Amino acid sequence: MSHFRCLPIPTETGKRWRATGVDDFGNTLVSMASDGAAPCRHCLREAKPGDAMLLGSYHMPGPIGIYWTPSPIFVHAEPCAAYDQMDHVPETVRARLVSVRAYDANQMCLYDLGQAVDGIDVDPSLARAISDPRTAFVNIHTAKPGCMLCRVQRG
């Protein structure tokens, strides 16, 4: 597989959410205790049951244009360390059914590279998508609700 990095949301986004109590669209953040199925998009770890989480709508950096969407995301209510690993799939992806979505440099969806798979077995789907020369970046979403888990770029 090509070298790759799974990228968290910007640290600045989490800081701003915690400081202001509003998300990227002016919605009041929902504060809640994790039921054990809340993936933090900054540390890319599964929240422990009872962890204080913030739920809000995130302005995704890409794709822009026709395929752009916002995404509901959880972030730890307390500061957490940004995920920063090369060639590693975070536990938030491993823990659930996921949708792998590849986009080209023109921000267009490469439908033939898209797959919904169990996250524990995501490696072949991710390798296929990230290694394709047409691919500029990949987004991994939850397959059922469709929320963004992380962006993936070649390392």
Comparing CA positions, the residue from 11, 97, 80, 92 lying closest to residue 46 is 92
Distance CA 139, CA 6 (A): 9
Q: Which is nearer to Zn ion, 7 or 102 (CB)?
A: 7
First to last CA, the chain: 11
Q: How far is the CB of 66 from Zn ion (least distance, A)?
A: 31
* Using rule CB under 5 A, residue 149 touches Zn ion: no
Binders of Zn ion among 24-53, rule CB under 5 A? 40, 42-43
- Asked if residue 110 lies in contact with residue 102, where contact means CB atoms within 8 angstroms, the answer is yes
Binding mask 74-103 for Zn ion (x = CB under 5 A): --x---x-----------------------
Q: Encode 90-107: b = buried (16+ Cβ within 10 Å), e = exposed.
A: bebbebbebbbbbbbeee
Q: How far is the CB of 117 from Zn ion (least distance, A)?
A: 24
Min CB(27)–Zn ion separation in Å: 20
Would you tell me which residues interact with Zn ion (CB under 5 A)? 40, 42-43, 76, 80
